[in-house]
Amino acid sequence: MKKLVIAAAISTSLISIQAQAAGRDTINIVGSSTVYPFATVVAEKFGKKTKFKTPKIESTGSGGGIKLFCAGVGLSTPDITNASRAMKKSEYDKCQKNGVTDITEVQIGYDGIAIANSKKSQQFKLTQKDLFLALAKQVPNPDGSESLVDNPYKTWKQVNDALPDSAIEVLGPPPTSGTRDAFAELAMEGGCKKIVWIKAMKNKDKSAYKALCHTVREDGPYIEAGENDNLIVQKLEKNPNALGIFGFSFLEQNDDKVQGSLVEGKTPEFETISDGSYPISRPLFFYVKNAHASSIPGMKEYLKEFTSEATMGDEGYLLDKGLIPLSATERSTLRKAVIMGTKFNM
């Protein structure tokens, strides 16, 4: 009798595993931890509003998500992957090779990166060049010759006379983070190319140019403070001399404790990020596997919910969570592309 019960239990559990593999009724989403806070809000709303199950969203990071997404077509692979950067050519090729050929790219909006310090101290007015000079591993020789030296700057005043005479101390994400990639690309490279002879280098030796502009110094002033943005905010509160690098939504939630520095004369605000005048902002995406659109219940409805005006429009609920919206025309072309399932090519 006992044996029978055990056998029955094992066989039912096996059947249910197979049943789950054969037909899935939840949308599986993977990808970026930056898009996660936005995608989860939409998923939750979608689950409450409709009769479909709430999609499952894994926070795997952009690269990890795309890897899972491109593993193939089939119900054991995810349907959508979120990314805080555009898909790379190499990743796209891998997708194609594994049979994931019909992908729609959806840009959902922008995310600003703030450089903030404690409200107890003075607000910083930075330029991209200041950031590059203060944080790069190698900088142009201060004597003016066209050569590189290891970063000699210890205080902000040495970098730029207009800045306060305090030690350079910046808390930021580690190299594994997408925020760090975006910071290197937008803030540091942005400042790097303001130096004429370095900009000229780009055409001659692109990889040397990139290494110079993206490499962050390792001699102390840049402190890797982990992936957790809340932790950086807490540390800034304790240390009024430090600056911190983190996502705009965290600045918005904590603006009683920290203030965003001006970059190129612009404060990180909703308006400046969305019109593009604040220079350090990046687009956020998700990618849809169109082959799954018909077999997974609710896929089309989820996409519709995500791209609707009430979600990502000028007054949508994602704005409340800190997403910077696309322009109205961008949104309407996007909506069409999503409904048609427009294939994206690279």
Partner 1 sequence: MNNTDKVKQSLKKRYAKEKRFQLYGKIAVMTGFVFLGLLLLDIITKAIPAFQSTEILLEIPLDRHTLELSSNIALNEDTLSAIDYAGLVKKSMRQKFPDIKKRKDKKQLYKLISSGAEFDLRDMVISKPELISTTPLLIWVKADDDIDTFFKLQTRTSRVTDKQAEFVEQLILQDQIRTSFNTTFFTASDSREPEQAGIKGALLGSFWTLLVTLFLSLPIGIGAAVYLEEFAPQNKLTDFIEININNLAAVPSIVFGLLGLAVFINFFGMPRSVPLVGGLVLSLMTLPTIIISSRAAIKSVPPSIKEAALGLGASHMQTVFHHVLPLAMPGILTGAIIGMAQALGETAPLLMIGMVAFIVDIPGGVVDSATVLPVQIYLWSDSPERAFTALTAATILVLLAFLAVMNMLAIFLRKHFERRW
* String marking each residue 162-201 x if it binds partner 1 according to CB under 8 A: ----------------------------------------
CA distances, 5 to each of 8, 9, 18, 19, 76 (Å) = 5, 6, 20, 21, 30
- Based on the shown chain and the rule CB under 8 A, indicate whether residue 73 belongs to the binding site for partner 1: no
- Based on the shown chain and the rule CB under 8 A, indicate whether residue 111 belongs to the binding site for partner 1: no
How many other β-carbons are positioned within 10 Å of the β-carbon of residue 206?
A: 10
d(CA 90, CA 96): 10
Least CB distance from residue 295 to partner 1, whole Å? 16
Among 31, 32, 35, 57, which residue interacts with partner 1 (rule: CB under 8 A)?
57
d(CA 158, CA 152): 9
Considering CB under 8 A, how many residues would be counted as binding partner 1? 44
Instruction: Look at strands 80-83 and 138-140 and give their pairing.
Output: unpaired
CB 55 within 8 A of CB 302: yes
Q: What angle do CA 66, 311, 335 make, to 5 degrees?
A: 65
Least CB distance from residue 200 to partner 1, whole Å? 41
How many other β-carbons are positioned within 10 Å of the β-carbon of residue 127?
A: 21
Could you say which residues in the range 248-287 bind partner 1, by CB under 8 A?
A: 249-250, 252-256
- Based on the shown chain and the rule CB under 8 A, indicate whether residue 8 belongs to the binding site for partner 1: no
d(CA 131, CA 192): 9
Among 36, 132, 222, 286, which residue interacts with partner 1 (rule: CB under 8 A)?
36
Stretch binding partner 1 (CB under 8 A), from 113-121, 152-160, 226-234, 301-309? 226-234
* String marking each residue 228-247 x if it binds partner 1 according to CB under 8 A: xxx----------------x
Stretch binding partner 1 (CB under 8 A), from 57-65, 82-90, 188-196, 335-343? 57-65
Residue 56 or residue 88: which is nearer to partner 1 going by CB? 56
* String marking each residue 312-331 x if it binds partner 1 according to CB under 8 A: ---x-x--xxx---------
CB 282 within 8 A of CB 184: no
Helix (H) or strand (E) holding 90: helix 89-97
d(CA 289, CA 70): 9
Among residues 75, 112, 87, the alpha carbon closest in space to that of 186 is found at: 112
Least CB distance from residue 57 to partner 1, whole Å? 4
Instruction: Write out the residues near partner 1 by the rule CB under 8 A.
Output: 13, 16-17, 20-21, 26, 28, 30, 33, 36-37, 39-41, 43-45, 47-48, 53-54, 56-60, 76, 227-230, 247, 249-250, 252-256, 315, 317, 320-322
